[in-house]
C-alpha cells in the first residue's frame, strides 16, 4: 500500500544506519548523523522510525534472521565434510555484516534489554552449529577427541567465533574483510588441527598452507 518512494527511504535509512554503525560505532552515531549522511532531515528520519532504538531493533531482526538461518543449516542437515571450512567463512561473513552489534555488546544489551535474550539465543545457536560441525567431522572420522574434552573445546571455538572480529579490529583497525575472515577460519582450523587423524592431517596441512598464504602479507605487518 505504501508508495515506492516511501519504502525506499525506509530501507535507505536502515542501510545507511548499518553502514555508519559498523564504521563509526553505534554509540557515536546519532540520528542526525544518519540523516546528514543521507541528505534528508532529522524530522524525515523520525517520520520513518520513531527513534534510534527502532532502527536498531529492525537491524537486529535482520541479523537474527539471517544468521539464524545459516546456523540452523547444519542442525537440519549435516554438511558435507569438505564444506565445513567454507561454512565457517559464511558464518563469519554474516557476523561481519552486523559487526557493530559485537563491538560494544555489553552497553548495547544494557540500553536495549529486550535484545539480551535474543542475542543469547543466537549464541546458543552458534554453539549448536559448531557442535554439529564437530560431530559430523567425528562421524566421518576426520577428527577424534575424548568425550569429556568436547564440551570445553567447543566452548573455545564458540568464543573464538564470537570475538575474533573484535580481536582483529582491536589489533589492526579495519583490514580487508576477506583477510580478517580468512584468518578467523584459519584460527579455528588451528584449534582443530591437533584432533585430526594422521591421514586427514596431511590434507589439512595443505589447506592450511593456502590459508597462510592468503593471510601472510598483511599478518607480517602486524
Partner DNA sequence: GTCTATATTAAGATAGAC
Partner DNA sequence: GTCTATCTTAATATAGAC
**What residues make contact with a copy of itself under the rule CB under 8 A?**
25, 27-28, 103-107, 110-111, 119-120, 123, 149, 152-153, 155-156, 159-160, 162-164, 166-167, 169-171, 186-187, 190-191, 193-195
C-alpha 125/C-alpha 163 separation (Å) is 16
Q: Which three cell numbers stand for residue 221?
A: 605487518
Cα 145 to Cα 147: distance, rounded to the nearest angstrom: 6
Partner whose binding site includes residue 199, from DNA, a copy of itself, none (CB under 5 to 8 Å by kind) = none
Specify the residue, 81 or 105, whose C-beta has the smaller distance to a copy of itself: 105
Question: Using alpha carbons only, what angle is made at residue 5 by residues 13 and 12, rounded to the nearest 5 degrees?
Answer: 15
Cα separation of 205 and 209, whole Å?
Answer: 6
Helix, strand, or coil (residue 78): coil
Least spacing, CB of residue 173 vs DNA, in Å: 21
Strand blocks (E) in the chain: none
48 makes contact, choosing from DNA, a copy of itself, none, with CB < 5 to 8 Å by partner type, with DNA
Between residues 43 and 113, which has the closer beta carbon with respect to a copy of itself? 113
SS3 29: coil
| Least distance between a copy of itself and beta carbon 153 (Å) | 6
Please choose which of a copy of itself, DNA, none residue 139 contacts, taking the beta carbon within 5 to 8 angstroms, the exact cut-off set by kind: none
Cα 90–Cα 23–Cα 6 angle in degrees, nearest 5: 85
Judged by beta carbon, residue 48 or residue 208, the one nearer a copy of itself is 208
Distance of closest approach, residue 77 Cβ to a copy of itself, in angstroms = 27
Residue 103 touches which of a copy of itself, DNA, none (Cβ within 5-8 Å per kind): a copy of itself
Choice between 45 and 99, CB closer to a copy of itself: 99
φ and ψ at 2, to 5 degrees?
A: -70, 150
CB of 110 to DNA, least distance (A): 12
Q: 170 is in the binding site of which of DNA, a copy of itself, none (Cβ under 5 to 8 A by kind)?
A: a copy of itself
> Please, what's the b/e burial string for 173-204 (b: 16 or more CB within 10 A of its CB; e: otherwise)?
eebeeebbbbbbbbbbbeebeebbeeebeeeb
What DSSP state is assigned to residue 27? T
Amino acid at each position: 500500500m505504501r508508495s515506492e518512494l516511501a519504502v525506499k527511504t525506509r530501507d535507505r535509512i536502515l542501510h545507511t544506519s548499518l553502514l555508519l554503525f559498523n564504521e563509526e560505532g553505534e554509540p557515536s552515531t546519532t540520528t542526525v548523523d544518519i540523516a546528514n549522511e543521507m541528505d534528508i532531515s532529522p524530522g524525515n528520519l523520525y517520520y520513518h522510525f520513531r527513534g534510534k532504538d527502532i532502527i536498531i531493533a529492525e537491524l537486529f531482526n535482520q541479523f537474527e534472521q539471517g544468521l539464524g538461518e545459516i546456523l540452523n543449516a547444519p542442525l537440519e542437515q549435516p554438511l558435507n565434510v569438505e564444506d565445513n571450512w567454507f561454512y565457517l567463512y559464511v558464518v563469519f561473513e554474516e557476523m561481519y555484516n552486523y559487526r557493530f552489534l559485537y563491538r560494544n555488546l555489553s552497553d548495547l544489551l544494557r540500553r536495549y534489554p529486550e535484545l539480551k535474550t535474543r542475542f543469547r539465543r543466537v549464541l546458543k545457536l552458534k554453539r549448536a552449529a559448531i557442535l554439529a560441525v564437530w560431530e559430523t567431522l567425528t562421524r566421518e572420522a576426520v577428527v577424534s577427541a575424548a568425550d569429556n574434552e568436547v564440551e570445553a573445546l567447543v566452548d573455545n571455538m564458540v568464543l573464538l567465533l564470537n570475538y575474533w572480529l573484535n580481536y582483529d579490529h582491536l589489533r589492526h583497525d579495519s583490514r580487508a574483510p576477506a583477510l580478517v575472515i580468512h584468518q578467523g577460519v584459519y584460527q579455528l582450523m588451528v584449534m582443530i588441527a591437533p584432533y585430526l587423524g594422521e591421514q586427514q592431517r596431511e590434507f589439512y596441512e595443505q589447506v592450511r598452507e593456502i590459508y597462510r598464504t592468503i593471510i601472510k602479507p598483511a599478518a607480517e605487518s602486524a
